[in-house]
Structure 1
Amino acid sequence: MSEPAFVQQLNFHARDASNESAALQAALSLGLFSHLPESGSGEPVPLDALARRVGGSLRGVRAVVEPMVALGFVHLETGRGYSLPATTAAFLRDAAFTARLHEARRWWHPSAKLPEAVRTGATPEGNVLGWFREQFLSPRAPAPSPEAADFEDRLARNVLRTQALVTAGELGVLDRLVKGPAPLEDLARDVSAQPEALGVLLGVLATMGLTKQEGDAWGFSEAAGRALDAQSLPYFQRALPATMAYWEAFGHLDEAVREQKFRLDLRDPETARRIYQENASRISSIFASHLRLSRKAADLVRGMRSLAGARVLDVGTGSGVWGAAFGLADANSHVTYLDSPHVLDAVRPHLAKLKLEARSRLWAGDCLSVDYGEAEYDVILLPQIIPALPPSELPGFFARLARALRPGGLLLISGYLLTDRRDGPLDALYFALRRYVSNEGDVLSLPEFRALLTPVGLTAARGFDMPIQQVVVAHRGDVPWPATATATAA
């Protein structure tokens, strides 16, 4: 495997693999597959009908079924509905195989006890170490088909791969391996773990291409050694606590779909305060690298209009990195940073370090209730906040923002952008699933953005690829599009 492919796979296992398992397990628990006909043998089932059949909310069923389409396990016929490809229908008819899938569902919550099991060698909530050994280190009964094997791997083992990384990070195993290989007994002593249990963990990591054993010594694989060093490892490990913040909620995804009961409810003010503050802190720790990327968005805007003396509003600023990029883009620009008071505390040190304080305003408030005024700003930034907002609030929200734009003003919306059919990309769908399970908003496609922006006068909108995600740029049709940037969709 090439180094970029290895890094991509490693990041997937840290961030999205458990989301994928959660979607597959919830689909199985909800009986979603049993309500879909095999392609060609019956009429496709529209989303609203599928939601009625499984007894779930429309939004919840959509959040679960969309990744199934992207993975190829469910077929979407545009304008008609969903059905099962023949390969999926075939392996789901195998009773012994589906029994294995249901057994795997039982281990979601016990798998979170892996750190304790490796540390002590105990078997909390069942034989957790035995389950990991069975899934990764022992011969397994063959699946009915290659498609079935892929389905089972994603449903049963991806979540365990994430937990193995979480455990290796929490116990300091990854930090220790950065220093070089060592015998198992020495590694166990260094990280305060039970040797045999640590051996299971290292063996699981080896199946992921992360570790290898040479003689009696365990160390990083060559690919991991190149990808994870003393500088890059902390950056990688910052994703793991964020993943675990959603663990309990994803374990009850089926419950959220059927009962709209959310174990991580970010519409609860105290829960939201805690999670958003943690997110701002994590983003602040990688502020410098994100600033370089955000400045590319400022360059995109400068290809459309001047930023000399521009008044910029950064809504839901988080760490302030987007607003800071525009503050640095012109020595006479002025940026207002809007967010909750506890989040703005993370912004101040960055502005001081960049010497932007004199041209900055910190505005503490709720983005859905403040008065943005009329013709106040040349550029309004929405850095990844749309998925955090209730969909019902978006029409009024965009209307107030459009009113606040000056003539020739631009609205920039950063984040994930779904395909027109909402069938990809997968990382965007998994991000949308996180938003659903925490009772937040949604990830949108460009046609969905245009449906919200056109009625408020922002009649021109295009998506542009940025180094990490995408940016939707909207205006009243009074600004030329950049000649050098390539739009994802015109």
Structure 2
Amino acid sequence: MAESTPALSQTAFVQQLNFWARDASNESAALLGAFALGMFAHLPDEGSSTPVSLEELAQRIGGTVRGTRSVIEPLVGLGFVRLEEGRGYSLPASSDFLRQEGFAARMREALEGWLVSAKLPEALRTGAPVEWRGGSRDLLGWYRQEFLAPRAPAPSPTAADYEDRAVRNFLRTQALVTSGTVGLLEAMVSGPRPLSELAKATGTQPEALRVLLGVLASMGLVRQEGDAFGFSELAGRSLDATSLPYFQRALPATMDYWEAFAHLDEAVTQRGFRLDLRDPETAKRIYQQNASRITGIFVSHLKLGRKAAELVASMRPLKDARVLDVGTGSGVWGAAFGLADPSVHVTYLDSEHVLEQVKPNIAKLKLDGRARYWAGDCLSVDYGESQYDVILLPQVIPALPPEELPRLFGQLARALRPQGLLLVSGYLLTDRRDGPLDALYFALRRYVSNEGDVLSMPDFRRLLEPVGLTSSRGFEMPIQQVVVASRGDVPWPAP
């Protein structure tokens, strides 16, 4: 069983692995959801007539404007749909296959299999078809067909690319999730092992497990050495005993959204959210899990936070600064500022159950003497006036209802002292909202769970300038971007 992916560098392989674990299913959801919504029937051919505006497209498919945008933006980013600035969307000639009924039927069939793919662990343990909606589904046969059997030629290279991303990317994600669930990844960390031994260690049927190993081989994760199977060279360096637990933490978070993505069309047309994070109990469960996962990668995120603290220190002194960390999560951003200067005092604002996980993190860094824990909802607390020198919003904006942002930014601006800085971390879209792709996939995930949005710099400025934060700029950081805003009374760092 040979590895079948093109040769990659170690860095590129890790990026690909993380994509399959986190964003591949988001991408599939957008590409399949466009068919479920009948979107392509309403897009004119490029150059043949006037492009259709976002508002008009939403009306034609019977969807909300924001829901329609969350689906079509990734298609623009991938090049399958054209966006003409100020006019709207159209379909390029290279995407004419999207209107072919045979191709559409293939997409609809794949979407029908989305939920049943989550039963892959069961299929591996029994080696048999799984029960599904009063019948049975040969899930292992589907995987063989998609990854291990010869494929019929696609109408064009562009069609082949769309098909692979739409039909196979979510199956790749499910293969990775299942490999973690049954313990296969952990079983291969120590080196190649015979199929029978791996099957015993994972509680699976040998021939069923052979299918999964074949799928992983097609992804470049596994290679066969005689009768034994183990990690490929790149996978072995990326998923060792130290890094594997970190990698596997991302997989349950992906599965939290699995059912919601299967019903993306309902979210767009009916505002029917299968994972509704505006529901208090659902939000409590998901955010508590997220805080626990983030705590597991606290050290790596602390490095990112310290880079942000260095950026702020290059603009204004941090001595005796009062810092507010809104929606603190694991506490890592506030902690980074607490470590930047021994006189900094940090207030960590989040719900009570999240703060219980923050406190041990801060205590380990010996920062609890300069910490205040504020239990509350960031949309309902009173921030006061001229209270803080720096206010942090670490990945908070995408979790908030967009209609609440003008009021929130007004309150935060009021709470800043003179020469105060507001720092927002997370994804930042291009001005056209056509990339980066990982930010668009994150925005889709936020929409399908009835949360907030990912913003561009023009979006931020429309919110910040009316409340007096007239000077704002985006900065690239490792992993994420940050937006820094002030009243114009703080100089930007030297280039």
Query: What's the TM-score, normalizing by structure 1?
Result: 0.98
Greater alpha carbon shift after TM alignment, 162-171 vs 93-102: 93-102
1:247 aligns with 2:242: no
Following superposition, the deviation at residue 291 of structure 1 comes to: 0.7
1:39 aligns with 2:58: no
Q: Aligned-pair RMSD on alpha carbons?
A: 0.7
Where does residue 142 of structure 1 map in the other structure? 153
1:186 aligns with 2:197: yes
Where does residue 236 of structure 1 map in the other structure? 247
Following superposition, the deviation at residue 101 of structure 1 comes to: 2.1
CA distance in 1, matches of 2:232, 2:152: 28
CA distance in 1, matches of 2:105, 2:312: 55
1:213 aligns with 2:213: no
1:478 aligns with 2:489: yes
Where does residue 62 of structure 2 map in the other structure? 55
**Partner AA of 2:439 in structure 1:** A
Where does residue 23 of structure 2 map in the other structure? 16
Where does residue 67 of structure 1 map in the other structure? 74
**Partner AA of 2:448 in structure 1:** V
**Partner AA of 2:377 in structure 1:** D
Where does residue 116 of structure 2 map in the other structure? 110
1:330 aligns with 2:341: yes
Q: Would the alpha carbon gap of residues 54 and 440 (structure 1) be closer, same or farther in structure 2, given more than 3 Å must change?
A: same
1:392 aligns with 2:403: yes
Where does residue 96 of structure 1 map in the other structure? 102
* Secondary structure, counterpart of 2:357 in structure 1: coil
Where does residue 326 of structure 2 map in the other structure? 315
Deviation digits for residues 430-454 of structure 1 (CA, Å, limit 9, x no counterpart): 0000100000000000011011000
Where does residue 3 of structure 2 map in the other structure? none
Where does residue 5 of structure 2 map in the other structure? none
Q: How does 1:86-485 map to 2 (within 5 A)?
A: 86-89=93-96, 91-124=97-130, 125=132, 126-484=137-495
**Partner AA of 1:194 in structure 2:** Q
Percent of pairs with identical residues? 72
CA distance in 2, matches of 1:419, 1:26: 23
Following superposition, the deviation at residue 388 of structure 1 comes to: 0.5
* Secondary structure, counterpart of 2:383 in structure 1: coil
Following superposition, the deviation at residue 248 of structure 1 comes to: 0.5
CA contact (8 A) 2:40 2:99 kept: no
* Secondary structure, counterpart of 2:247 in structure 1: helix
Where does residue 83 of structure 2 map in the other structure? 76
CA distance in 2, matches of 1:104, 1:263: 20
Aligned length: 483
CA distance in 1, matches of 2:39, 2:112: 18
CA distance in 2, matches of 1:455, 1:99: 49
Following superposition, the deviation at residue 304 of structure 1 comes to: 0.2
CA contact (8 A) 1:97 1:143 kept: no
CA distance in 2, matches of 1:217, 1:243: 30
Deviation digits for residues 369-396 of structure 1 (CA, Å, limit 9, x no counterpart): 1000100000000000000010110000
CA distance in 1, matches of 2:163, 2:107: 7
Where does residue 487 of structure 1 map in the other structure? none
For structure 2, the 5+ residue unaligned runs are 1-7
CA distance in 1, matches of 2:479, 2:9: 20
Following superposition, the deviation at residue 98 of structure 1 comes to: 2.7
Query: What's the TM-score, normalizing by structure 2?
Result: 0.97
Following superposition, the deviation at residue 288 of structure 1 comes to: 1.2
CA contact (8 A) 1:111 1:163 kept: yes
1:27 aligns with 2:38: no
For structure 1, the 5+ residue unaligned runs are 485-490
